A = this chain, B = another copy of it.
C-alpha cells in the first residue's frame, strides 16, 4: 500500500467540471506539490502552468497531447508528461484515480 509520509494535505477538495474531476493537494517538506484526484468518465481539456507528470493509479483513458491530433491509450500503472503552459485533452473511459506531480 503505497503512501506519502510526513506531508500536508489540504482538507477541501478542488472541484472541476461539475465534480466529475476532483482532487486534493498534497504538499511535501521540500516544497514539492502533488494532487491526488479522481476523474469520472467524460471528455475534458486541461491547461498547465507548470510541467505535469500524470501517474495513473487506476483507470482507462486516452490522452491527446498539445499540437498532436492522435489519441494515446493509457491505463492504470502508466504515466505521461505534459509540458508547462500547454493544454491537453483527456477522454476518460473508466473511473480514473491519478497522482499529478507539478515540476518547477
Contact = CB atoms under 8 A, between A and B. Distances in A.
Interface string A30-60: 0000001010100000000000000001100
Nearest to A38: B22
A15 to B, nearest CB: 7
For the residues of A in contact with B, the DSSP-based class is strand
Given A24-B24, A38-B38, A95-B15, A10 B5 contact: no
Contact of A18 (B6, B9, B26, B95): B95
Interface string A1-35: 11111111111110100110010101100000000
Interface of A: 1-13, 15, 18-19, 22, 24, 26-27, 36, 38, 40, 57-58, 95, 97, 99
